[in-house]
Amino acid sequence: MFALFWDHGIIRKAIENEKIVASTLNIRDFAEDRHQVTDDRPYGGGSGMVMKPEPLAAAIRAAEQEAPSAHKVLLTPQGRVFNQKIAQELASCEDLVLVCGRYEGVDERITSELIDDEISIGDYVLTGGELAAMVIIDSVTRQLPGTLGGADAAEKDSFADDLLEHAHYTRPQVFEGEAVPDILLSGHHEEIENWRLESALMRTLMKRADLLQKKDLSEKEIKILEKWSQNIKDIINSHHKKSKADT
């Protein structure tokens, strides 16, 4: 699964430009028995299989050989739920070892003895941790300076300042009868920045008001929200006036 992942897009360029050095260790290669078994039945009975501690511990220790100061993460639904802030945190780590489970999960002694951090990419169950590891590698790699086109591209990310991104437009100027907002064609950079801030605030208010609840709003953002709330109050007041007039 990773062979293809390493060989595409931003990730491949980051490897070519040595922004990241990436490798995979196959846990089965660390199983010493003839059939290289990496899973077994759960103690206490029940369905499914559990990943055996021995091959997994050997694989993690081999990874530590390559990266002694690595931050060791187990991908699991038990983990703290991944977000942009954790992506920025992991991007400041020297090295990362991402442990991808399969079956019902890994023997608990691996987590207690060898894992620094448990991370989940969301409250749903996958067949393996690999896709979760790829999500983390992708979002962390693009945080690294110079991996994205524009120098400041990552700073302008969604969630970078707890706001969803503003609306984006490109050519053609009119698509199926819908035109690009004139302000974006005006060349007035400050006005364009104001429009983009209002667009980001409105989209966040409409789609993820929870983000605004926990955000430290700037003076400028407060002013915009106050303007909107005043507009809404005016609409409600004029409505009440009208309905009174009608009665």
Q: Which stretch binds ligand 4FV (CB under 6 A): 11-19, 101-109, 184-192, 197-205?
A: 101-109
Q: Does 55 help bind ligand 4FV (rule: CB under 6 A)?
A: no
Size of the site for ligand 4FV (CB under 6 A): 16
Is 126 a binder of ligand 4FV (CB under 6 A)? yes
Cβ proximity to ligand 4FV, 128 vs 146, nearer residue: 128
Report yes or no: 6 and 15 within 8 Å, Cβ to Cβ: yes
Cα separation values, 88 from 15, 136, 191, Å: 19, 11, 30
Asked if 146 touches ligand 4FV (CB under 6 A), the answer is no
Minimum distance from residue 96 beta carbon to ligand 4FV (Å) = 14
**Of 129, 148, 154, 204, which one interacts with ligand 4FV (CB under 6 A)?**
129
Q: Cα separation of 120 and 99, whole Å?
A: 12
H/E element holding 196? helix 189-207
Give CA–CA dist 6/23, Å, rounded.
9
48 binds ligand 4FV (CB under 6 A): no
Instruction: Specify whether the CB–CB gap between 114 and 160 falls below 8 A.
Output: no
The answer to whether 99 contacts ligand 4FV (rule: CB under 6 A) is no
DSSP string, 105-170: -B-HHHHHHH-SEEEESSSS--SBSHHHHHHHHHHHHTTSTTSSSSTTGGGGSTTTTS-PPPP---
Residue 180 has which token pair?
A: 């690009």
State the binding string over 57-96 for ligand 4FV (x if CB under 6 A, else -): ------------------xxx-------------------
**Catalytic residues, which ones?**
77, 104, 142, 157
Choice between 102 and 215, CB closer to ligand 4FV? 102
How far is residue 164 from each of residues 68, 128, 154, 157, measured CA to CA in Å? 37, 30, 13, 8
Q: Between residues 125 and 174, which has the closer beta carbon with respect to ligand 4FV?
A: 125
- Interface pick for ligand 4FV out of 11, 132, 137, 200 (rule CB under 6 A): 132
In the set 105, 141, 142, 166, which binds ligand 4FV (CB under 6 A)? 105
Residues that bind ligand 4FV (CB under 6 A): 75-77, 101-103, 105, 120-122, 124-126, 128-129, 132
